[in-house]
Amino acid sequence: MSIERIESTDRMSRIVKHNGTVYLCGQTAGEAQWDIAEQTQRCLDKVDDLLAKAGSSRNQILSVTVYIRDMKDFAAMNTVWDAWVADVEKPARACVEARMARPEILVELSVTAAY
């Protein structure tokens, strides 16, 4: 059984590959000047980049958990999300309101995909 860890630090790996599955670390884009739409887009851009490094793509995403700081931003986040998944197979998805590690973080994505 092989496990490949990509872009590892003392705390975590940005990508873990095992048995045909890719696990990405939580993706955030917390900049105080960015609204939920901009943060969501930046997170999704990061997901695209990491999936490509792992030999995968957004069409191979199995599941996404969206953590959102305030559900008042749910519709705006979904507008960006819906455009991002418009032309691909839709993954399973959950969205929960959560306290974030820093106050400027409005959204975080946890992604699992096939490769």
What pLDDT was estimated at residue 90?
97
Helix (H) or strand (E) holding 77: helix 74-84
* pTM for this entry: 0.95
Residue 20: what pLDDT?
Answer: 97
In the prediction, which pLDDT does 31 show? 86
Which stretches in the chain have pLDDT values below 70?
none
Query: How far is residue 91's CA from residue 85's CA, in Å, rounded to a whole number?
Result: 9
How far apart CA 32 and CA 84 sit, in angstroms, is 23
Mean pLDDT score of the chain = 97
Cβ(45)–Cβ(110) below 8 Å: no
